[in-house]
Amino acid sequence: MSNVANTDDGKNLSAGLVTIGNIKITGNKKTKSNIILREIPFKPEDKLTLSDLVTKFETARKQLMNTSLFLFVIVALADTDGDRVSVSVNVKERWYLFPLPYFKPVDRNLNQWLFEQKGGLDRVNYGAKILYNNATGNNDKFRMWLMSGYTKQVSLSYDRMYIDKQMKWGLNAGFAMGKNREVNYNTVDDKQVFLKDPNTYLRNFVNVNAGLSYRNAINTRHYFGIGFTAEEVKDTVVALNPSYFKSGRKSISFPSFYYTLNFANLDYIPYPTKGYAAKISFQKKGIINAINLWSLNVNGLGSWHLSPKYFFSAEVFGGIKLPFKQPWFNQKFLGYGETFMQGYEYYVIDGVAGGFTKATLSRRLFDFNLGLPHQKGRAGIKIPIQVIGKVYGNTGYVHNPLPGDNGLSNKMLYSGGFGIDILTFYDITFKIEYTFNQIGQNGLFLHRKTIF
């Protein structure tokens, strides 16, 4: 390209700048174009150097993949006209509607269900669910569950990323109601203790929530919301644990308020190997003496490539609940949901303050496609599979002012081990881990993570 004196174009060319012209999007049969353009870090008429533009191509690809809307994304230079360039964005959409049978153990992880509960079908929820991602093409999500088995429950939720023309504000809402014949009413020896009555329901609950989200930039999102919870248990539950709720109550109802800040600058959110993420959550439960809880949780994650095949990850979590004197209902801390230490999957650790750190060194072992037989007139389906080997270590601590018959709180905890992670399409991850802990136990632990 040659210089042109005394023109803006000449100045741009002398500076090595190009002007973004048309951005052409292809492959989006359902997804609205403005949802795709929201994730692209440049717009028509922006002036960039070619090297900066190439960098932003990769940023755009990463952001679009992290929406979980597409199987693959290609962002590339389409054509040039002098110093003016056109950009092509080609996407292949996922399948978005999943009417599925529902079958899921209620226990905290597969090990607890298979080995401690002997894989009992009486500890399984079953039924039907509808998952409708990108329901209107606006990256919105509709969920409906109709469950029976261990828990009889009906729940609905809707989450829309953007409700305004500027594409900054979003909306979410949810409703759930259900009942159980079995209740986890206490923690003894750092294990959940259950009460079951086949003739009556021991617990009834209703949860309602609604909130707004705000996303001004690419990597940061704010959530604000309110909720309402009502729970009731039978007299037998309170007789066994008078501190289940406060002061021997058998029912509570309370509003809640929350604020969450999410930051994610990761190469692939479902399984990051490079980048940083952080989450800060603040919640207030109750406004009267029956329930009075202020809680703050902080999560952080960092991942770094050491070479094309090796990467290192570090995760930290910390939380506090105030005041420290809380009923058992509010003391659940580690071992519930995704907040756990490897090697302690068979345990729960109750308390009001604490946290953990995890460090993992990983290596890509295999990366291939598993081909399925094609049908006449249709291309064959290829299932991508990645296998990643890893070694890891954990350390953590939980403070409990009233530990009772539990020995894992109020002491430093350590664990370590090795394993493999298996990744496949639609963000499904299987984890097979062999872990050692400081109380002299070791074993094979199974985990899975899926959008289904």
Amino acid identity of residue 397, one-letter, is: Y
Q: Which domains does the chain have, with CATH numbers?
A: 8-92 (3.10.20.310), 97-354 (2.40.160.50)
Q: Which of 90, 193, 92, 103 minimizes the C-alpha distance to 148? A: 103
The residue whose two tokens read 């990761």 is: 266
The CA distance from 336 to 33, in Å, is 39
Residues sharing a CB contact under 8 Å with residue 369, sequence separation 6 or more, in sequence order: 382, 383, 384, 385
pLDDT at 6: 38
pLDDT at 9: 46
Secondary structure (H, E, C), the chain = CCCCCCCHHHHHHHCCEEEEEEEEEECCCCCCHHHHHCCCCCCCCCEEEHHHHHHHHHHHHHHHHCCCCEEEEEEEEEEEECCEEEEEEEEEECCCEEEEEEEEECCCCHHHHHHHCCCCHHHEEEEEEEEEECCCCCCCEEEEEEEEECEEEEEEEEEECCCCCCCCEEEEEEEEEEEECEEEEEEECCEEEEEECCCCCCEEEEEEEEEEEECCCCCEEEEEEEEEEEEEECHHHHHHCCCCCHHHCCEEEEEEEEEEEEEEEECCCCCCCCEEEEEEEEEEEEEECCEEEEEEEEEEEEEEECCCCEEEEEEEEEEEEECCCCCHHHCEEECECCECCCCCCCCCEECCEEEEEEEEEEEEEEEEEEECCCCCCCCCCEEEEEEEEEEEEEEEEEECCCCCCCCCCCCCEEEEEEEEEEEECCCEEEEEEEEEECCCCEEEEEEEECCC
pLDDT at 326: 93
The CA distance from 75 to 17, in Å, is 19
Q: What is the mean pLDDT, run by run of 10 residues, along the chain of 452 residues?
A: 39 68 95 95 92 93 94 92 92 91 78 78 84 95 89 93 94 95 92 88 96 94 97 95 90 96 94 96 90 96 96 98 94 91 94 98 92 60 89 97 93 97 88 94 87 62
Q: Which of 355, 282, 359 minimizes the C-alpha distance to 322? A: 282
pLDDT at 409: 96
pLDDT at 4: 34
Structure tokens at 443: 């074993």
Q: Which of 293, 413, 311, 404 minimizes the C-alpha distance to 365? A: 311
